[in-house]
Amino acid sequence: MKVALPKDLEQDARLAKRSHAELCRQKRIFNARDRIIGGDTEAWDVQVHDQKMREATDKARHETFAAEMRHNDKLMCILEGRERRDRKNLCRAISDFQQRFQKPETRREFDLSDPLALKKDLPARLSDNDTRNTVSGMQKFMGEDLNFRERKKFQEEQNREWSLEQQREWERTRADHKTAEDLHKQTRLQLDEAARHLQKLESASRKAACVAVKEFNKNQAAELAERKRQERKREQEDNLAEISALLQGDLLSENLQQAARSFGPHRVMPDHWKGMSPEQLQEIRLAQKQQVQEKLRSQEEERQCNMDWDQQRIQKARATLLEERQQQRQQRNLRRDLDSSNLSLAREQRLQKKYMEESYKNQPSEDYFKQFNTRSR
């Protein structure tokens, strides 16, 4: 029978503690999530649990509030319906009370708004001597007495007398009007006769005036024609004198000296200048020929210079082309050397790979990989 000593128990506890620490360490190290993120998952789990508890508590509180609100809404609906019903009953009771005990005819001021007041009231006038017919009441006017028949008969008789009097007055007025018209007609005939006599006299005087004006116009026309003839004659003489002066003057004779100024022989008047002399024209032609020759010489020099520049440019282009061809040949040679070196390297790699495959034929098994990551150290 084996007895466990305190020293052995302490050693076993120490080994157990070390193995537990090793397992915890392996769990932390071999877990990629904890190793990369480096977070405390237990604290996170506690926080997630607390968050869910708070959400559940808030949800329960909200549901309790919602149920209480629904209950309060139902109570409000019931109270509002009861209030409407009580108000309706109160209005009905008030209406019944007014119809039974507060009728319009029981009011003190009902006589002011009674619709049958005119039917109940006395007539405005019972007779012509009624004491209620005051001046301010305006119930009795002239011609509105009760003895209407007698008054109407008297009025008809009076109208007949007035009509007869108007007829007699109209006949007298018609006779006077006819007499006045006859007198006016006679007066108008006399005035027409006088106007016709005056018109004849005016026509005769107008004819005499027209004859006099015609004679005066004839005389004026003759004088105007004579004056125009004299003016044309003077104008022709002036034109002939001017033409002769122009023909004999320096302007048309083309005198070259007329354009010279007193300031110098090289200054001329543009409005009198008639052109250059033959000597001047010959000098200008000589100067133009010299300018043409000078321009041809400069063009020839420019053409020769351009030819030289073109020759130099062609030589430079040929040299550049030769240099490019030389560079292309060098690049082809370098590429050929590089390809040959790559082929030799590829051949050597294939031989080495074949040698490795023949030398190392044993492939590692799964047990070989399991021996790794078994401890945290």
Highest mean pLDDT among 3-12, 123-132, 140-149, 227-236: 227-236
Q: What average pLDDT does range 121-144 have in this prediction?
A: 71
Residue 145's nearest CA partner among 156, 133, 137 is: 133
pLDDT band at 129 (very low <50, low <70, confident <90, very high): confident
- pLDDT for 182-200, tens place per residue? 888 888 888 888 888 888 8
29-63 residue pLDDT tens: 777 666 666 666 677 788 889 999 999 999 999 99
pLDDT value at residue 370:
75
Partner residues linked to 260 by β-bridges: 268
Q: How confident is the model at residue 27 (pLDDT cuts 50, 70, 90)?
A: confident
Q: What is the mean pLDDT of residues 219-232?
A: 89
pLDDT surpassing 80 at residue 5: no
> What digits encode the pLDDT tens for the residues 135-164?
777 777 666 666 777 878 888 899 999 999
The predicted model gives 203-220 an average pLDDT of 88
pLDDT of amino acid 241: 84
Residue-wise pLDDT for 71-114, tens only, equals: 999 999 999 999 999 999 999 999 999 888 888 878 778 878 88
- Mind listing the pLDDT tens digit for each residue in 278-332? 787 888 899 999 999 999 999 999 999 999 999 999 999 999 999 999 999 999 9
Q: For position 93, what pLDDT does the model report?
A: 93
pLDDT computed for residue 270 by the predictor: 62
Q: Is residue 170 very low, low, confident or very high in pLDDT (cuts 50, 70, 90)?
A: very high
Mean per-residue pLDDT over the chain, rounded: 82
Q: Which of 127, 149, 151 is nearest to 139 (CA)?
A: 127
Find out whether 104 and 110 touch, Cβ atoms under 8 Å. yes
- Is residue 248 over pLDDT 70? no
> pLDDT at position 130, please?
72
